[in-house]
Structure 1
Amino acid sequence: MRDALNNHCNRVLLQRLHELELPDAWLVGGCLFQTVWNLLDGRSPESGIKDYDIFYFDPGDLSEAAEHAINRRAQDAFAELSVELEVKNQARVHTWYPAWFGRPCPPLQSACEGINRFLVGSTSVGLRQLAGQTVVHAPYGLRDLYEGVLRANPSVDHGSLYEQKARDYQARWPWLRLPVAAEEGLSAEIFR
């Protein structure tokens, strides 16, 4: 995931994320995997990235107001980057998930559990700094990310939402592929 650090904004956010003093904070999502896909596609690392996501885990305050206050603080702290930040408390996901997705979600126990629930497995990535080292959380590995495979997340069943998300990614990076179910008796993976 060193490629994600070719994006100047990712690099600054990762280096200074600790300044926000958020528990279990991770730089996650599109700013990471889209940077990799941009590089693989010959584009500039920051091309088309609309926002930069940060997950944290604070079970002590599940209010929407607290999350909004942290978002404002983060936007101020990184104002020089001129990017949109989305800072989300993964401890409160279960409070809004049923209204958004139409089904319950058990309370998460860490920010990493939020990363684990992205609709497309290859996009389930997070980075943070610990003791001067970059730590990568990629529960489904990085192979699909680098090979452009948009496999549905095996732990989240949102078929139509996954399909919509994957098609959106393919519209921006046409070389990305969706696996299709192989015919019975065949072991080779088929893509479309």
Structure 2
Amino acid sequence: MDHLRYCGLSFEKQRAAFLDIVSADPLIAETLSRVRVLGLPDWLVVSGALYNSVWNHLTGKPSGYGIRDVDLFYFDESDLSYEAEDSVIARAAPVFADLPLPVEIRNQARVHLWYPSKFGRSCPCYSSSSDSVRFFASKTHAVGVRFDTDGRLDLVAPFGLDDIFSFCITPNRVLDSRQTHEAKGARARENWPEISVVPW
């Protein structure tokens, strides 16, 4: 199997391939269909479940292989309390209860409030779910999908898709996230030995 067959193609061709692959993946397709019923503001399914599903497809691995959870972002500035976010998580729990992987939900409007205590450094106040993706530790991981108002799958990929289709994890040095980049890169290589990791 030629796992690099989309490497180096135009963004539009890569975008079409990416959306075809993730929409056909049973785990992603089911998650996306269920997210819609929650009516979350500015929601976005992001990161590992997406690019890992692409790597699984291109290397002949089963759906869900190597994926720990599905990350679901939303953005709501109206209430930045932990309690408000926790109520959204509780409301969503029965919606996703029988999925094979847990769905981790986070309000991106309040990340800057807990980020310093968790990572020992500050992060910006994000302006949207899409904005937060630009600050991921690796450019390769900065990808998200959601349905637009017409029900079509929309892609957020601020750094493009060639790193994903090249099986290359590239650092994003906008924040001091070296440890996260290296840890995620090492774990990815355990599951997909085709991957290369660009040093920080």
TM-score bucket (shorter structure): 0.7 to 0.9
1:113 paired to 2:135: no
Alignment-mate amino acid for residue 112 of structure 2: H
Separation in 2, partners of 1:79, 1:101: 29
Q: Offset of 1:70 from its aligned partner?
A: 1.3
| 1:48 matched residue in structure 2 | 66
Alignment map for 1:153-164 (pairs within 5 Å): 153-164=172-183
Count of aligned pairs between the two proteins: 181
Of the structure 1 ranges 75-84 and 35-44, higher mean CA displacement relative to structure 2 is found in 75-84
Separation in 1, partners of 2:30, 2:151: 14
Structure 1 contact 15–129 (Cα < 8 Å) conserved: no
Q: Unaligned stretches of 5+ in structure 1?
A: 182-192
Three-state SS of the structure 1 residue aligned to 2:169 is coil
Taking only the aligned residue pairs, the percentage that are identical comes to 35
Of the structure 1 ranges 124-133 and 147-156, higher mean CA displacement relative to structure 2 is found in 147-156
Structure 1 pair 158–180 and aligned structure 2 pair: CA distance change class (3 A): closer
Separation in 1, partners of 2:129, 2:182: 25
Separation in 2, partners of 1:6, 1:34: 14
Three-state SS of the structure 1 residue aligned to 2:168 is coil
Three-state SS of the structure 2 residue aligned to 1:81 is coil
Match of 2:154 among 119, 135, 139: 135
| 2:193 matched residue in structure 1 | 174
Alignment map for 1:1-192 (pairs within 5 Å): 1-2=18-19, 3-130=21-148, 131-180=150-199
Structure 1 contact 36–45 (Cα < 8 Å) conserved: no
What TM-score do you get using the length of structure 1 for normalisation?
Answer: 0.88
Deviations 1:22-68 (A, max 9, x none): 11001111111110111122101222322111100001111222222
Q: Unaligned stretches of 5+ in structure 2?
A: 1-17
Separation in 2, partners of 1:38, 1:133: 23
Structure 1 pair 164–26 and aligned structure 2 pair: CA distance change class (3 A): same
What TM-score do you get using the length of structure 2 for normalisation?
Answer: 0.84
Structure 1 pair 106–85 and aligned structure 2 pair: CA distance change class (3 A): same
Point out which structure has higher relative CO (alpha carbons under 8 A, 6+ apart): 2
Three-state SS of the structure 1 residue aligned to 2:40 is coil
